[in-house]
Amino acid sequence: MRRLTLTAAAVLTAAALAGVTACTSDSSGTSSRAKESKARNNNYDELVARQPAHTGSYSPTRETKNFWIDTWMKSPNKLSYVYIQNANGEYGYFILKGLPVTYCVSLLPPEVKTRADLGQYDGDLIAQGPSMDGTYSSGANCNAYYGKDASTGAYVEFSVGQNQSYFLYDQPLDLPQFKGAKPLGPSSIADVSNKS
């Protein structure tokens, strides 16, 4: 019995040493992943030391963001003029109350933190949350836009891509390419100009 106990103790000791050795070699940074991660971080540190980010005294990006805010967030009745060019180079337009919105936009954060069974333990996961309509959406339908027609309040939807693109303005433009543009929705430029 004593011999069996010594043998069992020897086996357990050997297993423990093997486990320590495995953990030590893995956590000492000798794994391929750890080496590549260290190389990437060292390379980044060297590049930053040689080429640090510059600072400036003026941000044209912030200025343009403020211009967007001043243009679109000051009036709830602001109209947008959406000119659409098709594959043949022909133009049409929609006039919307407010901006067109893509299906990718949500009023709620698209992800939620949830508790889940992770095998041996429970843990937190970030999962897709439901939309306000009780459905789940993906970010794959970003080329579909919708809005509210300026004069009738009708729902308007259009898509871009596949040789169709749009140009958005906060006022009607008298540009040569837009001369023959026809209304694609209920409102025309004449309709909204008569109301203002």
- Taking the chain (196 residues) in runs of 10, the rounded mean pLDDT of each run is 47 51 52 92 96 96 97 93 92 96 83 82 81 73 92 95 91 90 93 74
DSSP label at residue 140 = T
- Backbone region of residue 55 per phi and psi (left: phi > 0; alpha: psi in -120 to 50; beta: other values): beta
Helix (H, G, I), strand (E, B) or coil at 43: helix
Q: What angle do CA 142, 143, 148 make, to 5 degrees?
A: 95
Locus of tokens 């990718």? 104
**Which pLDDT does position 21 carry in this prediction?**
47
| Burial of 187 per CB tally in 10 Å (0-12, 13-18, 19+) | buried
70 contact partners, CB below 8 Å, separation of at least 6: none
Tell me the residue type at 175: L
Distance CA 24, CA 92 (A): 68
| Predicted pLDDT at 193 | 83
How open is the CA angle 95-145-60, to the nearest 5 degrees? 80
